[in-house]
Amino acid sequence: MIKVSGLHKSFGTQHVLQGVDMEIQTGEAAIIVGRSGGGKSVLLKHITGLIQPDQGQVFINGVDISHLEERELLKIRRDMAVMFQGAALFDSMSVGENVGFYLQREGKMTPGEIEKKVAETLELVDLNGMQHKWPSDLSGGMKKRVGLARAIIHNPSIVFYDEPTAGLDPVVSDSIDHLIRRICDIRQVTTVVITHDMRTVRTVGEKVYMLVNGKIYLTATPDELFASQDPVVYKFVNGISDSEDVLS
């Protein structure tokens, strides 16, 4: 379970997070939405322990990680994975080497065991037999799948996705969304997605958190989000600009 309580963070005079409270249950698929520059990525960095809050707490499976030493944080992070927006593949490594990188560094499995695990994980993301390809041979959607395979190969219980469909066309985006949903169901992993894509919200999400002015403005199911007549929510969901910039 992930619990965020009274989280505050400022950078100079800019108050980015102003008392964020949220709770994501084990195995749940949660979506965090909000305007660009509204603090979504800063919130994600707090949840993954990359930065410390000015005030408040972040609990991962009951452990407060807000001010843990790096050694203790590493133990917590072993049970997490992050799929980055740009896939972040190593160009000098094959697909198989990229996917097996974590297991290779960990040093607990034989090369044969790693090879088998890589093949199984690539099959899960619909990239059977792609081990010997290079990142330069792949389309944008395939790179995302390789990044996802690398993220989940060590069976984390929590997976974070940072704008997983950014830069992809609608058809490829839809396939990535359904893949994320499938992995959530098959692996029973807690899933946290940062996105602007309302299609991702519909396909992946079970609970949606809308971040406005550094606070959680709305917690809802996807159906409740899309049915909301609240003017702030409605304009955001439907991409309607406001001359008074009510979301800033």
Q: Are 192 and 2 in contact (CB under 8 A)?
A: yes
* Domains in the chain: boundaries: 1-79+174-248, 84-155
Q: Phi and psi dihedrals of 128, rounded to 5?
A: -55, 135
Neighbours of 70 (CB within 10 A): 8
In 10 A of CB 79, how many CB atoms? 15
| Phi then psi dihedrals of residue 236, to 5 deg | -65, -50
Each residue's pLDDT tens digit, 128-155: 999 999 999 998 889 989 999 999 999 9
Identify the pLDDT of residue 242. 67
Percentage with pLDDT > 70 across the chain: 96
Instruction: Please state, in angstroms and rounded to a whole number, the distance separating the CA atoms of residues 153 and 164.
Output: 17
Query: Is 153:102 a contact under the CB 8 Å cutoff?
Result: yes
Superfamily of chain region 1-79+174-248: P-loop containing nucleotide triphosphate hydrolases (3.40.50.300)
DSSP 3-state of 78: coil
Distance of alpha carbon 236 from alpha carbon 212, whole angstroms: 10
Residue matched to tokens 């919130």? 43
pLDDT for 233 equals 94
Q: What pTM did the predictor assign?
A: 0.88
Note whether 83 and 160 are within 8 A (CB).
yes
- Taking alpha carbons only, the member of 244, 226, 242 closest to residue 234 is 226
